[in-house]
Amino acid sequence: MFDLDGTITRSDTLGPYVAGFLRRHPAGWLGLPQVLPVLLAFAFGRADRGALKSALIRATLGGRSRGEIEAWTAQFVASLPRRVFADALQRIEQHRAAGDVLVLMSASPDLYVPALARALSFGQCICTGIEWQGERLVGRLTTANRRGAEKVRCLERLRAEHPGLLIAAYGNSPEDIPHLAQADRPALVNGNARARGLAQSLGIPCVSWR
């Protein structure tokens, strides 16, 4: 089970995804002020990351057609090689060669994560769902934001779906520590000081990928 942002990829993916779309459709920049109230609420602890994510997608991509989104997603996925750690690709291939079930689990949205999962030959993808109305993007979340405690719940469901299999899990952030702690073979990848401290306190190995 692999996290995406900061674990496989070198950085966040949602920001570059939205910014890349807006470079091609600059009228979307006009929606950014709509995000400010939610951003302020988030700063004061009155909104969570899921609400902020939804606000950004609704303000900048809301109303766009499925064709427009899918066309940009294809271009975004094509840029994948320069966005990923070579060591991550090597580890994915090692698991694939061993016949393991490969799961990509990310808090990033299903606008592009399933396409990234297919490009990396993952057999299963768990990510944050985004609402459509017919062929037009709405942008509200249709699932829980796949982060923190939600990843623990997803791991538990995977364990039930694949009884008897050991779970190897890779993540990079402090918020990944809870589900890493539930895995049989966890690893913290390129974690910051706080994440490394938490991992070390639980006996979770820390690794560096390049």
pLDDT digits 0-9 by tens, 176-200: 999 999 999 999 999 999 999 999 9
pLDDT recorded at residue 34: 95
- The band of 43, judged by pLDDT with boundaries at 50, 70 and 90, is very high
- Say what the pTM is: 0.94
- The band of 204, judged by pLDDT with boundaries at 50, 70 and 90, is very high
- The answer on pLDDT for 149 being more than 90 is yes
Q: Taking a C-beta distance cutoff of 8 angstroms, is the pair 154, 126 a contact?
A: yes
Kindly give the residue spans of alpha helices, DSSP state H, lying in the chain.
Answer: 14-24, 36-43, 49-60, 66-78, 86-97, 113-119, 149-161, 177-182, 193-201
Q: Is the dihedral of CA 153, 172, 108, 77 positive or negative?
A: negative
Please count the CA atoms within 13 angstroms of the CA of 178 that sit on its side-chain side: 12
Give, as one character, the DSSP assignment of residue 66. Answer: H
pLDDT digits 0-9 by tens, 50-108: 999 999 999 999 999 999 999 999 999 999 888 999 999 999 999 999 999 999 999 99
Sorted by where each starts, the structural domains of the chain and their CATH numbers stand as 14-207 (3.40.50.1000)
